[in-house]
Structure formats: C-alpha cells, structure tokens
Chain A
Amino acid sequence: MEEILETYTATELEHVKVWFKAASTKDFPVDGGACIKYKDKQIAVFNFARLDKWYACQNVCPHKMEMVLSRGMIGDDKGTPKVACPLHKKTFSLENGENLNGDLEAIATYPVKIENDFVYIGFSE
C-alpha cells in the first residue's frame, strides 16, 4: 500500500515543469476542497477563500492510504492553514504538508496558480 505514497513528492515552485490546467475556480467550494486527476495522481485542491489562497496536496491520507483528503475540512491551527482528514481527523499543514496532530509522514504539497479563473497545479514531471 505504501507504494502509493511514492507517487507523490512535494514540489517546490522552482521545480515546476508542467502547469496542469485542472478546472475552473468555480468548480471548487469556497473555503473547501475538491479532487482533480492528473495522470495517475489524485490531487486535493483547496480554495482557502478567507486567505485568498489556493493549496494543493496529495489526496491520499498517509494514515490509512485512502483517497479522501480533498473531502476534508480546512481551517487553521494557530495560524497555519490545514486540512483535517475526514476519516480520523488527522490534520496536515497545507503550507508544508506536516502532520500537525501526530507523527505521520508529511503529505506532498504542490504549487497552485490561478489564471483567468482557471486553477493550475504545478508538477515537476
């Protein structure tokens, strides 16, 4: 099961080779998330409207390897924007993927840009 995780590696802005045009901004709930498919990857994308920011991360929760994070609730933990997994409420920083309430492996995060009301996710491959 763990091999799923290898599909996802945190991507820094400077390593972005492909800006994948994912969907219209309107397809994502305000202050919530939805999932997009890129090749064999499932990516959770969050419209953090209160911060006027967008975030993207792997959809798979490292706790039980289920594809659920996009259905999690977002919010902040002492200022750090986070997502809570809908299954057991493990929380992860949307900034760097760190597990904020446990010692799970960090999740992979991806850069997001918005152009002409479209959401683009940055991948290095």
Chain B
Amino acid sequence: MFIFIKTHKKYVILRIFVSKYQIIVRMKTIIVVGNGMVGYKFCEKFVAKEESKNYKVIVFGEEPRPAYDRVHLSEFFENQDAKALEMAPAEWYTENDIELIVNERVTDIHKTTKKITTAKDREFSYDYLVLATGSSAFVPPIKGVEKEGVFVYRTIEDLEGMLDYASKLKSKNANAKAAVLGGGLLGLEAGKAVMDMGLEPHIVEFAPKLMPRQLDSRSSQVLQLKLESIGLNIHLSKATNQILGDKSIVGMEFGEDDVLDVEMLIISAGIRPRDELGKTCDLEMGVRGGIVVNNKMQTSDESIYAIGEVALYNQMIYGLVAPGYDMAGVAVDQIIGEAETLMPEEIDMSTKLKLIGVDVASFGEPFMPASKGHSIIFENKTQHLYKRINVSLDGKSLLGGILVGDATDYSMLHQVYLNGMAIPEDPAQLILPASEGGAAFGDVMDLPDEAQICSCESVTKGQICAAIESGEATDIAGVVSCTKAGTGCGGCKPMLADLTNATLKSLGIEVKEGVCEHFDLNRQDLYKIIQVKEYKTFNEVLDNHGNGGHGCELCKPLIASLMASINADTANKEYAIQDSNDRFLANIQRNGTYSVVPRVPGGEITPDKLIALGEIAKKYDLYTKITGGVRIDLFGATLNQLPLIWKELIGHGFESGHAYGKSLRTVKTCVGSTWCRYGMDESVSFGIELENRYRGIRAPHKIKGGVSGCIRECAEARGKDFGLIAVEGGWNLYVGGNGGATPRHAELLAEQIDNETVIKYLDRYLMFYMRTAKPLQRTAAWQERLEGGMEYLKEVIIEDKLGIAVDLEKEMETLVNKFECEWTQAINDPEMMKRFSHFVNSEEEDDNLVFVPMRDQKMPEPWN
C-alpha cells in the first residue's frame, strides 16, 4: 500500500492500493482566509468533527502571529505578553493537521477556477473557501487623521504602537493628554487603556450620551458620573472638524473656538467589514459593505462561506464574538454535510463592558416602547447605580435591561432573558438590593468561572466544567474524584450535581436521570412504582426495577426514604439500607461518636425539661450546645451510650428530634402575641402544632419551618421551607425558603388565611414536594426549577388544577396519624437494640476515641 500526497495543488490525492483494488480517495481542500477569533474557532470546531480527516485545511492570516483573543486585547497593556492572548499556539495547528500560513494576505479569489492568490503571488486551489477576514476600525474622513499620534484599536501591533508613542510623550510631558474618539463600548475600553498608559484621558462622543447603542439617557448619565469619578473626562455632542498639528497631532477642533488639546488620539468610531475580497470577485455585497450570507453562511457563490465580522447576515454586521462563533459552527456543519445546522433568526446582542472598576451591561431589548411591556427602574445616583429591566405586559418574561454600577446580576438576568425563564411574581426582586426585598435567583451555570463551588477544596466552577469538558470526568462521581470537589463538608454537593448535569447537557451528553448506576429511574418514577406495587423491601425494588447490581450508598437511603414517605415507616425498618445517621438514629460526628438532639417543638421548653437535659448531659459527659435550630444538642455519645441516653430522655417526656433524618427538623417560633407587645397571633402555639404535625415524616431533604407573630419576623420564617407571618386577618404563608449554601427567601403562597387553611395548603404543598422532588433537593431548589413557577404552584395547591388536592391531603393525613417516635420504638425492642453496640463480640466501647478538654467541656482530638 502506498500513499501519495501532494499538497497546495488542486487537490490532495490519497492513493491507497489494497491488494488488487485501487481506491482513490480525493481529499477536499478548505481554505480559510483570516486567522482571527472566528477563523480560529472554525478550525477548532472543524477538527473536533470525525469527518475532518477527509479534508485538508489551509489557513491564511495577514497578521504576523496565530489568532489571538481580540476581546481581551486590553490585557496586553498590563503585561505586553502576546503569547498569553493566543487562542492556541502554532503547534496546535500542526498537531491537528492544519496548515497555518501567517503573514500572508490573500489578494484575490478566482471563483471559476476555485483558486486564490496571495500577496506573495502564490496560488492555491480550494473546494471550499471560508472568508473570516473580520473587520477593521472605521476611520471617519476627518481632516488630519493621517497625522502621527492617531491610532486605531484593533491589533496587537496597534497597541505596541500606542505604548511606544505614549512613553515618548510622557518623557517630554508628564501631563500629556490623549483622547478617544467614540464613547461606545470599545471607546470606553480604550479610554481606560489611555488611563493605564498614564495619560490624561478624554472621551469625545458625537451623540449626546455615552454608549448610545446600549444605554438609555438615565443610565448613560449614571455611567458618566461614575466614569468622571474615576478620572475620565467626557465630552458629549462633539463633532470633530479637524485634527490639529503639523506632523503630529496637538489637538482636536470641534467648533471655531472649541478645541481640545491632546497629543494622542485613538479612533474608536465603529468597524468596517474587511470585504475587499468579496468585491474583487463579485460576491453579493451589502449596500454599506459586508459580504451577504444566507443562514448556511454561504455567500452568493455556494463554495464560498463568510463568517464573523465580515459576514452580513440579516442585513447586519454583528460586532461581537459570540455570533461569530455560532457562524463558525454553522459553516463547519454545512461543509461536512450536516445540513440542518442553520444560523438562528434572532441573535443575542447583550453585552457587558469589561472596564475594571465600572460595571455596565445591557441585554435583550435595553430600550422598549411602553406598548410592549413595563420597565422597572432602580436608580441611586449617589452610589452610581442604575438598573432597569423590561418585563412583558403579562409580567411573565424578561425582555431586556440595563445595569450600570453593579452588573453582578448580569449573567443571571441574561440567562433568564435568553432562556425565557420564569421570573418572580414581583419582578422588582430581580434588581432590588437584597436589603430592599431583592431575592437570590438564578442558576449555577450563570456563576462566573472563578466562582468557588467547593470551598473546602477550593474548586471553582471553571475547574469543574473543565474536568467534564476535557472528558476526564463523565459524571458526578468522576468530577468528585478528579477535582476533589465535594469531598470536604459536602455542602456543595447539590450545586455540584446541578453544575455537572448542566455541563454534560451543554456538551450534548445525555444526562442519565437515574439515581445511580443501579437504577435508570429517577426519584419520581421510583416513588410511583413503590406506591403502586406496594413494595416493602429494598431488594424487591432492586430486583424488579434495578440494573442487576446490589445497590449502593445512593440508592439505598433513597429507597428507604421513599418507603418511609409512602408507608410512614420509621428508620428502624431495614436499618441496613438507611443512611448512616438514620441507621443509628443520631448524627455521626467527626470521631465516630454521635450527637443527641431531642425535639423541642417550637423551641418551647419547661424548666424541668431543661434541668433534665442538663443532668443527662452531665451524667454521660456530653458536650452541650444550643443549635442554630434553637434546640439543644448533646455531643460525644458512643454507640453503646445512645440507647441509655435516650431511655432517660424519653423518661422525661422527650422524643426524637430527627436531627439526623431527611425529615422535619424544627419549626422556629418567636414568642408572638403570648408575650410580645406587637404580636398579632399566637406564633408559639401554632408553631408547636405544625412541628408536631409534620415530625417524623421522611422527605427528599430536610424541612424546616418558622412562625413569626408579626412582620418584624423574629422567627426568620421566610428563610425556611415553610414560613408563616401573622398579619391583620390571618397568616401569610410563604414557601420554598432556604438558609444554608444558597440562601433564598420563601415566596408568598397565600395571604391572610386561617390556621385550618394553612394546614390544608401546607399538607398539599409538602406532599406535592415529596412526590416530585429529586433526591436531596430542598424545597427551595425544587420550587425554583418547577416549570411554571409560583403561578403554577398556586394553581396546584390552591386552585387544585391537577385535581390531586384530596389525595395529597389524604396521604399526609395517613403519615400524620401513623407517627411513632422511632427512638421509643427502638429502646423497647431488644432486637432493634442490638445494633447499638460498637462490637458484636464484646461489651467494650471504641478504644480509639480520644477527647481533649475545651473551655469547660470536651471535644474530639483534632484531625491532622
């Protein structure tokens, strides 16, 4: 067999002789003109395709170096490190069989013979030609623009020129001034660069406001105040007549007596597509330039594609990199024959300014006529803050907005806008500062790459996504083992799961909904199956619906929890499948001892009970602390001591506090009208009633409640899974709140309802949550992902749109009636008691335990 490859000629021939047969594979050639961001992206997306091996790719770049990140061009001022900006090093092209020819401009296209000519007079043949020639800075025809000291801001060479010139200026005049012509997105970035070069910065804008394309007048004013406060001089409504100076610039003239003395000027007045090649070979062109393409990125010649800033799509040049990348993807797919990939009609033009120290962003439709929707505006001029969101007339979707001064919510809002996600009933919450009623809202994928997901192991979102994108990890377990995220306190696990799944999805990898390798079914399916088939043991479920294995630490506790939710079982049943804490009805501690938390409903406790707790703690030498859930935790009990301690506690009228279970924890109350001078209702009584009602019920995750006697909200009810606040005429019922890792305020479900209605709605709400949430999903996360949002929830819970309210209430009633304290159950059953000993062949306790004194109590020896 022999292979014969001839490059740079009409086509590459691969001749393979296989025994007697001769197969000739004609390799097609793709020539890419322009090695900028989009041209590079084309290559990257192309080599990722299996089919790419059937093509030869040759790339021409006019610039002296391989493609670099123009978007972050300004970073060049900081370190003058061109390599750091590279999209990929030169070797990358070789490794991927791409022939990269830099420093050679393509000068002509011969459509009929399918050839191109370069500035070095070389000729190359193509089957497909991809024009990615980008654009150049638009230089307005002002008298004197050719003078020395006038620059554009587009390439690394431009920046090198500026740096050189600026340092010469400064050596002559320490207070030299420089102006930027254009107060748009790029102009402001250039203004910052001028500042960083140590020159006095001036921005000259023709329009009466800054960033005229992205900002409304008010936000523009706020931005102006902010920029002035950091030292930028701003000149609006200025038309430049001429550039003054002999050889080099000394000033700009606007009107007769209106002159600005500057010794350097950066022109940033817009871009012009580099469409010269299109003109020379007669491709269809736009009236104001740009090579016309269809939604396949094809020009008027079907073998020639145009992408990026040279392409005129929908009569528009998109001066942003993201649409360019999409175009590159479309062209790749079209060429290899995946004809169904087309450029979308609508293109997102949302932008965020990268100026350090000034947050500016606009997304969707920043300006909007009142006929299309409502605008909600939050402005604080003294803090240079302006936020505007435009909401559809029905109040359900976000149409666009502007953020100045604080754009931290940009990615989240942008995401909400892009995905048409549901917005809060009161959309103002999206932009109000938290102190004024704003609420956390959003999705993990919106977090910036540098956001720390696992603070124990300091793993960022970027690292997690990278592990998945590189193929190193293909599921959550993989992410955990290669990044170590989630191996510390584990508090980040739910976020990790969301992030992993979202990243996998973004890579087009199907995310198995199954709970683990043993079940392809999700929690909701398993719930229904167990309910309908009335399974009573783990093995029944595994053998009938599993994948043939033996279960694991993910599916066992889940199924234990489901059977408990459905059959009102306690954790004493099939204890070997219970999560480690449930198995011993206590929270395991750092050193393998346990903590004991008896229930103190509503936080109300008699002095006698307090004394009893104290005496028991003393007797067993337990470290004692008031918990964040306002009850008392006794730490350091050995496995052998647990039943002894509980026997005494139960003797004093205590019962399990289920601090170890995915079940109701506490219903925190304030003292309410019983004692408080402002109390509107008896929050303690109602809190106790609710805590006793829902105690012991197993749910997807723990549930906490709160009842406040008035809007002063001393019980922090809105931070709980369910919260009640007494108001004139009844209770306001809030649901889906959360403290913990991702705090969120509960949302209003119903207003001014009486006790009975509260219980009715809560029964329905909790049962609906228990039926449909994912494993280990708190109400907050569940509610946030609920399609249809709060509106839908109200329809289900209050209006009974699904017709399931009666069932939900009945199921809850059964659970409530079947309640049994599992500790009482355990200590009264010798068989159950057997599990509470450290050794099965000895009465001894764990001899490995070491406690050290701490303040007046003890603690386990620290881990090293």
Contacts and interface: CB of A to CB of B under 8 A. Distances in A.
B844 interface: yes
A30 B539 CA distance: 11
B339 interface: no
A28 B588 contact: no
A1 B864 contact: yes
Contacts of B576: 29-32, 73
Interface in A39-92: 40, 42, 45, 48, 50-51, 60, 64-68, 71-79, 81-82, 84, 86-89, 91
A91 B553 CA distance: 9
A81 B550 CA distance: 8
Contact of B575 (A29, A67, A88): A29
Interface stretch (B56-64, B403-411, B577-585, B677-685): B577-585
Given A35-B838, A71-B584, A71-B588, A88 B490 contact: yes
A42 B592 CA distance: 14
Contacts of A48: 550
A82 B583 CA distance: 18
A82 B588 contact: no
B175 to A, nearest CB: 60
A27 B556 contact: no
Contact of A50 (B481, B539, B639, B840): B539
Contacts of B429: none
Interface in B509-568: 517-518, 539, 549-553, 555-557
B841 A22 contact: yes
Nearest to A63: B487
Contacts of B487: 88, 102
A5 interface: no
B646 to A, nearest CB: 18
B550 A51 contact: yes
Given A27-B834, A73-B576, A66 B841 contact: no
Contacts of B555: 75
A90 B580 CA distance: 13
B592 A27 contact: no
Given A27-B834, A48-B550, A75-B549, A4 B841 contact: no
B605 to A, nearest CB: 31
A72 B557 CA distance: 12
A81 B553 CA distance: 12
B549 A79 contact: yes
Contact of A73 (B539, B553, B840, B848): B553
B846 A71 contact: no
Contacts of A35: 838-840
A65 B591 CA distance: 9
A92 to B, nearest CB: 12
B556 A66 contact: no
A76 B552 contact: yes
A66 B839 contact: no
B549 A23 contact: no
Contacts of B591: 66
Nearest to A78: B517
Contacts of A77: 517, 552
Given A73-B552, A75-B551, A102-B481, A36 B580 contact: no
Contact of B848 (A4, A22, A81): A4
Given A73-B552, A73-B576, A102-B487, A60 B848 contact: yes
A42 B848 contact: yes
A31 B583 CA distance: 13
B354 interface: no
A66 B592 contact: yes
A89 B588 CA distance: 13
A22 B590 CA distance: 28
Given A48-B550, A86-B588, A102-B481, A67 B556 contact: no
Nearest to A83: B553
A87 B588 contact: yes
Interface string B826-864: 000000001100111110101110000000000000011
A37 interface: yes
A78 B549 CA distance: 7
A22 B842 CA distance: 10
Given A22-B841, A36-B841, A60-B848, A76 B588 contact: no
A86 B639 CA distance: 14
B852 to A, nearest CB: 14
A34 interface: yes
Contacts of B835: 29, 34
Contacts of A76: 518, 549-552
A101 interface: yes
A92 B489 CA distance: 20
B553 A84 contact: yes
B423 to A, nearest CB: 37
A73 B579 CA distance: 8
A89 B539 CA distance: 22
Interface in B613-644: 639
B230 interface: no
A34 B848 contact: no
B480 interface: yes
A74 B592 CA distance: 18
B44 to A, nearest CB: 33
Contact of B846 (A34, A36, A67, A82): A67
Contacts of A23: 840-841
Contacts of B847: 40, 42
Contacts of B842: 36-37
Interface in A1-39: 1, 4, 22-23, 27-32, 34-37
A45 B839 CA distance: 10
Contacts of B840: 22-23, 27-28, 34-36, 45
A122 B844 CA distance: 22
A64 B863 contact: yes
Contacts of B848: 4, 42, 60, 65-67
A36 B584 contact: no
A78 B517 CA distance: 7
A37 B841 contact: yes
A72 B549 contact: no
Nearest to A101: B481
Interface in B458-515: 477, 480-481, 487, 490
Contacts of B556: 73, 75
B577 A73 contact: yes
A84 to B, nearest CB: 4
B553 A89 contact: yes
A63 to B, nearest CB: 9
Nearest to B575: A29
A75 B839 contact: no
A56 to B, nearest CB: 12
Nearest to A28: B840
B552 A82 contact: yes
A29 B831 CA distance: 11
Interface in B106-141: none
Nearest 6 CB-CB pairings of A with B: A32-B576, A86-B580, A75-B552, A84-B553, A27-B840, A76-B550
Interface of A: 1, 4, 22-23, 27-32, 34-37, 40, 42, 45, 48, 50-51, 60, 64-68, 71-79, 81-82, 84, 86-89, 91, 101-102
Given A22-B841, A37-B844, 10 more contacts: A37-B841, A37-B842, A42-B846, A64-B590, A73-B556, A73-B576, A75-B550, A76-B551, A84-B553, A86-B580
7 contacts: A31-B551, A32-B576, A35-B838, A65-B848, A71-B639, A72-B580, A91-B553
Interface of B: 477, 480-481, 487, 490, 517-518, 539, 549-553, 555-557, 575-577, 579-580, 583-584, 588, 590-592, 639, 834-835, 838-842, 844, 846-848, 863-864
